[in-house]
Amino acid sequence: MKNLLKLLVLLLALGCSKPKNNSLAIFDYKGLQPLLEKSDNITYVVNFWATWCKPCVKELPAFEKLKKEYSEKGVEVILVSLDFPNQIESSLKPFIRKEKLQSKVVVLDDPDQNNWIPKINEKWSGSIPATLIYNKDKREFFERSFTYEELEGELKKFINK
């Protein structure tokens, strides 16, 4: 009986400590904001994208390669999906699995774009793809697509001081 109880406690602990592979963090802007304002020793590359945006999908491999090449050099890539909430299960999650995305993916579900877009960058028109690169010393915003070489060039301005 004791062993069964120990096993049950262990299984419950493991089940509670690991998020399910198919769960995504879904934030309104207030919930996303802490990911956009960290002041640690990491350089963050935050890409705003959606599965329905062809230029966004085309540039995703550049972000994935950047994650692979620079994650051990103090760089974190965060992919902020702007997919419609009713398409998370039918489009976004299958896309993430199919493309085997390794970067952190979160969903921004906040219909008040007029409020949060200028908070991310006052000059942002709201079009995607858009990318924010920042660390505790510097912050730049780009409303454009990137090749890997272009993205890496911008990142190097942050990590090669």
**pLDDT score recorded for residue 18:** 34
For residues 81 and 107, the answer to whether their CB atoms sit within 8 Å is yes
Instruction: Tell me the pTM.
Output: 0.85
pLDDT > 90? residue 15: no
Tokens read off for 6: 């120990």
pLDDT, tens digit, 9 for 90 and up, residues 21-46: 457 999 999 999 999 999 999 999 99
Tokens read off for 43: 């350089």
H or E segment at 77? Answer: strand 75-81
CA distances 60 to 8, 42, 65, Å, are 41, 21, 9
Residue closest to 141 by CA, chosen among 160, 120, 116? 120
Chain-centroid distance of CA 78 in Å reads 2
Tokens read off for 19: 């998020």
Q: Which of the 8 DSSP states describes residue 71?
A: G
The 3-state secondary structure of 109-133 reads: CCCCHHHHHHHHCCCCCCCCCEEEE
The stretch 107-122 carries a mean pLDDT of: 96
Cα–Cα distance for residue pair 81/84, rounded to 1 Å: 9
The stretch 143-158 carries a mean pLDDT of: 97
Residue closest to 64 by CA, chosen among 47, 41, 50? 47
Specify whether domain 20-159 bears CATH 3.30.70.360.
no
List helix spans (H) across 75-112. 93-99
Domain ranges of the chain: 20-159
Cis upstream peptide for 129 (omega within 30°): yes
